[in-house]
């Protein structure tokens, strides 16, 4: 984080903590201060509270021409896609169509490396000679404990490999998510895009959400801005990728967050399983993904992987969160489990990201969300 910007954000957060106006005015005040402090051009926020209509508001611009960012503007969901995908997997597991602790290899017709390197999924052929791929389960994928790097292209030689015994520790991996998508599509003969459409988007009224580009999105589309303040056109993603191809709106993500916090259509057992702490997280920060484990004293107490999200414990009890990021996008979902309250933030300007803590505090108070772990390093 830029040092000067960091100081501004800390001052803003402290100011809100000392004397926050009544919600939702507190959120508006926090966002206005964020936009001034960071220079970010566009931001959307939804706040979900039980028994109340969601608070949904947008600020700023959706493109360099100055068009207004609106509640129905199509924005890039980035890695919030992973949580939506996890919700689908939890449904399949609750219906007995998938066993979370069964090796994914059992669902495939032939050994994973024999499928070779597939541009649509992953470089499975690179795993030949390391039999640990046989142990990977859906639960390991959704708790980010497969042992893969985030993506193979970050490896020095560009090859996919397993860095630690699957299931033994947390290390964020988009490659793992793509392996699970591959197993569902090849092994169970499911169309993940169609299943998400039917089981999540249609069911929860998410009319403007898809994992594949739709031409009608162009009518009200958000471009982005990079950390240098340069505009970047929206990427029209034509391939379903459960690791992060979702386009959505703040309206639709509010609907999803409400369903997620209540466990709609999941049933209590599957919902509890998705949101419970499953694997302690032992690193100082989320990124880089394959950093060394921190000494016990330096670890964050209560920080764990759930299914497709991260769980934590704070002054208001248990919570969970999931972020999304690329060069021109910053997104965040934070929920308090007992209170069933959530904040969703979508920004088409990555410069807004360091100030998300101030917005969440304005909406939910002090949650104990481990911001320094999420954004400590990139």
Tell me the pLDDT tens digit for each residue of 40-95: 999 999 999 999 999 999 999 999 999 999 999 999 999 999 999 999 999 999 99
Q: Is residue 129 part of a domain?
A: no
Q: Is residue 10 part of a domain?
A: yes
Segment 148-164, tens digit of pLDDT = 999 999 999 999 999 99
What CATH number did the domain enclosing 351 receive?
Answer: 3.40.710.10
What mean pLDDT, rounded, does the chain reach? 94
> What's the pLDDT score for residue 255?
98
Q: Is residue 32 part of a domain?
A: yes
What average pLDDT does range 182-191 have in this prediction? Answer: 98
- Residue 378: is its pLDDT beyond 50? no
> What's the pLDDT score for residue 21?
38
Q: Is residue 127 part of a domain?
A: no
User: Tokens representing 343?
Assistant: 């904040």
Under the banding of pLDDT at 50, 70 and 90, the label for residue 24 is: confident
Backbone angles phi, psi at 255, to 5 degrees: -65, -40
Q: How many domains does the chain have?
A: 1
Q: Is residue 197 part of a domain?
A: yes
Segment 346-356, tens digit of pLDDT = 999 999 999 99
Q: Is residue 135 part of a domain?
A: no
Q: Is residue 261 part of a domain?
A: yes
Residue 300 has a CB neighbour count (10 Å cut-off) of 19
Q: Is residue 132 part of a domain?
A: no
Pairing type for strands 279-280 and 304-305 reads antiparallel
Under the banding of pLDDT at 50, 70 and 90, the label for residue 376 is: confident
- What percent of the chain is predicted at pLDDT more than 70? 93
Under the banding of pLDDT at 50, 70 and 90, the label for residue 22 is: low
Q: What is the pTM of this model?
A: 0.94
Under the banding of pLDDT at 50, 70 and 90, the label for residue 377 is: low
Segment 273-310, tens digit of pLDDT = 999 999 999 999 999 999 999 999 999 999 999 999 99
Quote the domain boundaries for residue 279.
3-98+188-375
Segment 91-126, tens digit of pLDDT = 999 999 999 999 999 999 999 999 999 999 999 999
In DSSP terms, 330 is beta-bridged to 325, 347
């Amino acid at each position: 984080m830029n040092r000067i910007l960091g100081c501004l954000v800390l001052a803003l957060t402290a100011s809100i903590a000392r004397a926050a106006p009544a919600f939702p005015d507190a959120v508006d005040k926090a966002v206005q201060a964020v936009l001034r402090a960071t220079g970010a051009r566009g931001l959307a926020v939804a706040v979900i509270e039980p028994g109340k209509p969601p608070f949904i508001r947008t600020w700023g611009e959706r493109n360099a021409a100055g068009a207004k960012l609106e509640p129905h503007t199509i924005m890039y969901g980035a890695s919030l896609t992973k949580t939506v995908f996890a919700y689908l997997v939890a449904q399949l597991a609750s219906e007995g169509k998938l066993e979370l602790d069964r090796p994914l290899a059992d669902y495939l017709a032939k050994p994973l490396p024999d499928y070779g390197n597939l541009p649509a999924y992953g470089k499975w052929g690179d795993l030949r000679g390391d039999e640990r791929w046989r142990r990977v389960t859906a639960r390991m994928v959704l708790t980010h404990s497969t042992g893969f790097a985030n993506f193979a292209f970050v490896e020095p030689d560009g090859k996919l490999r397993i860095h630690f015994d699957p299931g033994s520790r947390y290390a964020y991996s988009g490659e793992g998510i793509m392996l699970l998508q591959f197993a569902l599509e090849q092994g169970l003969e499911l169309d993940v895009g169609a299943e998400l459409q039917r089981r999540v988007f249609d069911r929860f009224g998410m009319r403007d959400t898809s994992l594949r580009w739709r031409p009608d999105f162009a009518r009200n589309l958000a471009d982005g801005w990079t950390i240098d303040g340069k505009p970047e056109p929206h990427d029209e993603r034509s391939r379903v990728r459960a690791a992060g191809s979702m386009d959505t709106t703040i309206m639709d993500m509010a609907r999803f967050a409400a369903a997620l916090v209540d466990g709609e259509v999941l049933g209590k057992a599957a919902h509890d399983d998705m949101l419970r702490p499953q694997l302690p997280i032992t690193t100082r920060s989320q990124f880089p993904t394959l950093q060394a484990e921190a000494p016990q004293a330096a670890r964050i107490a209560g920080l764990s992987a759930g299914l497709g999200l991260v769980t934590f414990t704070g002054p208001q009890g248990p919570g969970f969160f999931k972020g999304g990021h690329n060069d021109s996008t910053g997104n965040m979902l934070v929920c308090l489990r007992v209170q069933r309250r959530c904040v969703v933030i979508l920004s088409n300007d990555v410069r807004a990201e360091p100030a998300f803590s101030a917005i969440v505090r304005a909406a939910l108070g002090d949650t104990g969300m481990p911001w320094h772990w999420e954004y400590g390093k990139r």
